[in-house]
Amino acid sequence: MTTYKGHPPEKAETAGRSVTPGKLTLAQILEILAGGRLPLRVTAYDGSSAGPMDAPLGLELKTPRGTTYLATGRGDLGLARAYIAGDLAVHGVHPGDPYELLKALAGELVFTLPSPRVTASILRSIGARHLRPIAPPPQEGSPRWRRAVGGLRHSKIRDAEAIHHHYDVSNSFYEWVLGPSMTYTCACYPDPEVSLNEAQENKYRLVFEKLRLGPGDRLLDVGCGWGGMVRYAARRGVAATGVTLSEQQAAWARQEIVEEGLTALAQVRHGDYRDVAETGFDAVSSIGLLEHIGVRNYPSYFGFLQSRLRPGGLLLNHCITRPDNRSEPSTRGFIDRYVFPDGELAGSGRVISSAQDVGLEVVHDENLRLHYALTLRDWCGNLVEHWDEAVADVGLHTAKVWGLYMAGSRLAFETGGIQLHQILAVKPEADGDAGDLPLRPWWTP
């Protein structure tokens, strides 16, 4: 995202004028902070403007409330608040896919830290009233400390509420964004130009083959979403059980199971994965669940999944990760307040260590980072195509949240800020043997 450098000289050249301490326009303030190198056109309600006149992309600060959001929000939260509330408008991009604007900001905008004298002038120009926090847009979730009233983080009650916040938006909305596959996890593209639906089908094929599933086997899919993996496996003769905390997802999946005639082999339950009582599964798939678990709960998570497997059974964990194992394992700011409450990410090394520490033997790890960037590209394309229907269904503010979140996530995957790892592990036999696994990978890439 935006980076910062040391403060510039006492005077900064903005739009051809020498800026000295005193009353500054909003555009002048932004240009000072950007060191005179704005990559897009900025206009403000006070009549000021900055940046290239012919820039194809632009930001428009429309209201004093937007100034307050920008001045008081930490990190990306202030910009998100102003944009979602309608106080900050974007030009040159569609709200369903503001990727190009975010890319320009992330790649070319370098904020400088002004000298104390210029900083004081900026604060006087903004005014004290804009430096006092105000209520955020109603779409914003509570801060983490306030959520504690609803239970401890990652308790069953609080996890259910977090999942409800994100996944129970509207099945119709997800159908427009995700397309026919109704799959809200990273696809696997054999070619960048194949359709999203083909790429999602290919992802399920890859998981199915890695787990060495065949007719008569039993699969447990935790965090199963709308049942895509469950139905894929059942069509191939596998008895598949899925579980999701989202009631709307479970209802949609059950209807699809009936319509496809898969009731003899497939079932989707509405509930917590920790309530699955059956054991002896040949394989367990977890596709996009670990992000909601909480890093401190990794040992119990992997321990539980291992306990559901038969000796020699395989586990595939597919999750978003950080690019290192040193960063604080948490998600904050815009993502935490608007998208994934209580979500946490850790490095793939932390994930692998946690699986190994409960006795699982990790046999393969694969990074699908660039595949997720392509997936998000296509989800944004779907949102743009169905923008009017989406706005009518969930409202303009929520639709804007999704466009911003998906476009920003695409950029993060492209630049390596986050990754996607598929980790395959086996539950050893009592004597430590890994069973009859082939010597080399047995699946088609």
Find the largest Cα–Cα distance for the chain: 78
pLDDT at 9 over 60: no
What are the residues facing 347 on neighbouring strands?
322
Residue 344 carries which side chain, given as an amino acid letter?
E
Angstrom distance (rounded) from CA 167 to CA 226: 10
Rounded to 5 degrees, φ, ψ at 200 are -70, -40
Angstrom distance (rounded) from CA 303 to CA 305: 6
Both structure tokens of 161: 């509420």
What's the half-sphere exposure (Cβ side, CA atoms, 13 Å) at 404?
22
Over the chain, what is the mean pLDDT? 89
Angstrom distance (rounded) from CA 133 to CA 81: 12
At 34, the pLDDT band (50, 70, 90 cuts) reads: confident
CA 130 to chain centre: 31
Q: Tell me, what's the pLDDT at 13?
A: 37
Residue bearing the bigger pLDDT, 6 or 355:
355
Residue bearing the bigger pLDDT, 33 or 27:
27
CB 210 within 8 A of CB 232: no
Angstrom distance (rounded) from CA 170 to CA 191: 31
Helix/strand/coil for 106: helix
pLDDT at 61 over 60: yes
Both structure tokens of 17: 């004028």
DSSP assigned state of 137:
P
The residue extents of the domains of the chain are 3-131, 156-426
Residue bearing the bigger pLDDT, 167 or 112:
112
Q: Tell me, what's the pLDDT at 108?
A: 62
Question: What are the pLDDT digits (tens) for 186-218?
Answer: 999 999 999 999 999 999 999 999 999 999 999
pLDDT at 57 over 90: yes
Q: If residue 351 lies in a helix (H) or strand (E), which one and from where to where?
A: helix 348-357
How would you classify the pairing of strands 281-287 and 266-270? Answer: unpaired
Average pLDDT over residues 401-414: 97
Residue bearing the bigger pLDDT, 163 or 89:
89
Q: Tell me, what's the pLDDT at 210?
A: 98
Question: What are the pLDDT digits (tens) for 281-319?
Answer: 999 999 999 999 999 999 999 999 999 999 999 999 999
At 98, the pLDDT band (50, 70, 90 cuts) reads: very high
Count CB-CB contacts under 10 A for residue 34. 22
CA angle 188, 321, 405 (to 5 degrees): 75
Angstrom distance (rounded) from CA 325 to CA 347: 5
Residue bearing the bigger pLDDT, 17 or 254:
254
Helix/strand/coil for 213: coil
Helix axis angle, 247-259 to 156-167, nearest 10° = 70
Q: Show Cβ contacts of residue 193 under 8 Å, excluding neighbours closer than 6 positions.
A: none
Q: Tell me, what's the pLDDT at 37?
A: 75
Average pLDDT over residues 80-107: 95
pLDDT at 99 over 70: yes
- The torsion angle over the Cα atoms of residues 342, 133, 45 and 22, rounded to 10 degrees, is -130
CB 308 within 8 A of CB 278: yes
Q: Show Cβ contacts of residue 297 under 8 Å, excluding neighbours closer than 6 positions.
A: 154
Residue bearing the bigger pLDDT, 234 or 3:
234
Tell me the fold of 156-426: Rossmann fold (3.40.50)
Residue 357 carries which side chain, given as an amino acid letter?
D
At 272, the pLDDT band (50, 70, 90 cuts) reads: very high
- Distance of CA 69 to CAs 48, 122, 256, Å? 19, 16, 44
What's the half-sphere exposure (Cβ side, CA atoms, 13 Å) at 131?
8
By the 10 Å C-beta count (0-12 exposed, 13-18 middle, 19+ buried), 368 is classed as buried
Both structure tokens of 238: 């596998």
CB 169 within 8 A of CB 226: no
CB 283 within 8 A of CB 290: no
At 156, the pLDDT band (50, 70, 90 cuts) reads: low
Specify whether the backbone of 416 is left (phi greater than 0), alpha (psi in -120 to 50) or beta: left
pLDDT at 417 over 90: yes
Percent residues over pLDDT 90 in the chain:
73
Percent residues over pLDDT 70 in the chain:
87
